[in-house]
Amino acid sequence: MLTDKNHTDATVTMEFGIPKEESTQVKEVLDDVYKSLSEKGYNPINQIVGYFISGDPTYITNYNGARTKIRKLHRDEILEVILQHYLDIK
C-alpha cells in the first residue's frame, strides 16, 4: 500500500517507451553529432559517452549546431534507441 504520492510500490515494474517516429529523430541527431565531433577531431564515442554519464553538454561540440541538437533530446530516449540498435531489436 502506498502512503505517499511521491513513492512508488517497489513490487510494480514501471514501463518506459518512446514512439517509433522519435526513434528516427534520435538516430538522425546522433548521426549529425557523431559527424560533427569527428570533423572537429574528437573521438565521437568517448565524447557522447561522457555526455551520457555526466549530463554535461560541453562534451558535445557546438560545431554545426550539434550541442543544440542533442540537448533537444532526453538522454534516456537516446539510450533506448542505442540499446535497441545494439540488440538489433526493431
pLDDT tens, 17-31? 656 556 789 999 999
Tens-place pLDDT, residues 35-76: 999 999 999 999 999 999 999 999 999 999 999 999 999 998
Q: Are 47 and 37 within 8 A, CB to CB? A: yes
What is the percent of the chain with per-residue pLDDT over 70, rounded to a whole number?
82
DSSP string, 3-32: --TT---TTSPP-----HHHHHHHHHHHHH
